Amino acid sequence: MAFFTSEYECKLDAKGRIVLPARIKANLPESSKHELVIGLGFETCLTVYPEVEFRKIYNKIAGLNEFNPEYRKLQRNFFRGMSVVELDSNGRFLIPKHMLSHAKLDKEVIVVGMGNRIELWNPELYSDQLYPNREELSDTVQKFLDSE
């Protein structure tokens, strides 16, 4: 199982490639050392999965009843936004241009470990996704823990 945490400031090169931070790369499952699945995030970001983690989601969504119009629409919209990318020997991968555009990525990128996946953010947009203070974060965590 993948386990990604922390955030890292990274740079895109002129070709739209990014180097995975060493700690992220070290936590990739052995089966994902050369390929990752990258997708359009639900917010204005990109989501990167090791293949083994993406398979779990893939199996659920691909297994939906194809005769149900709502499920077909979900499958179509989810899978159209996914691409397999190859990691080179330096731990870099090329981000497709339409994905760079979706996430508004230019030169600076925040890489965020999200447990089983990684998110790639434009630094200006990422700050809008964070709690403004630790107290609000604490209140939200408590609310979720109380609901269990």
Confidence of residue 84 (pLDDT cuts 50, 70, 90): very high
Q: What is the mean pLDDT of the chain?
A: 94
Give the pLDDT score at 29.
87
Angle between helices 51-62 and 69-80 (to 10 degrees): 160
Q: Is the pLDDT of residue 33 over 90?
A: no
Q: Please give the Cα distance from 115 to 84 (Å, whole number).
A: 20
Q: Has this prediction a pTM greater than 0.75?
A: yes
Q: Token pair 């922390």 is at which residue? A: 6
Q: Which CATH class is domain 7-146?
A: alpha beta
